[in-house]
Amino acid sequence: MAQQRAQIQNPNQNIGPERSGSCATVVIIINDMAYVVNVGDSRCIMSLDAGSQIAVCSRDHKPDDEQEKIRIQAAGGKIYRTQTFAKAA
């Protein structure tokens, strides 16, 4: 229903499943352990030593990454776009 309303209100925009996606990063800290979960085009980094260093805490979920491509296809998913197109200013 919401998709249909959006399409009626914005007839010149491409609104639909080919434009859908998910993105989230969640961190839960219990005692001295950090649990990190990320989905989609998101990442988690952590500041160490008062900001003088960083730690990468997650792996990007991008279909142009070979391991992610294999995981998506093994789960029955399809990859239909791996490029980002920017609008001209």
pLDDT tens across 11-51, in order? 666 655 555 567 889 999 999 999 999 887 788 999 999 98
Half-sphere exposure of 52 (CA within 13 A, CB side): 2
Strands (E), 1-89: 23-30, 33-40, 45-48, 53-56
Model confidence, pTM:
0.51
C-alpha 39/C-alpha 25 separation (Å) is 6
pLDDT, tens digit, 9 for 90 and up, residues 51-76: 899 999 988 777 788 888 898 889 88
Q: List the structure tokens of 69.
A: 């491509």
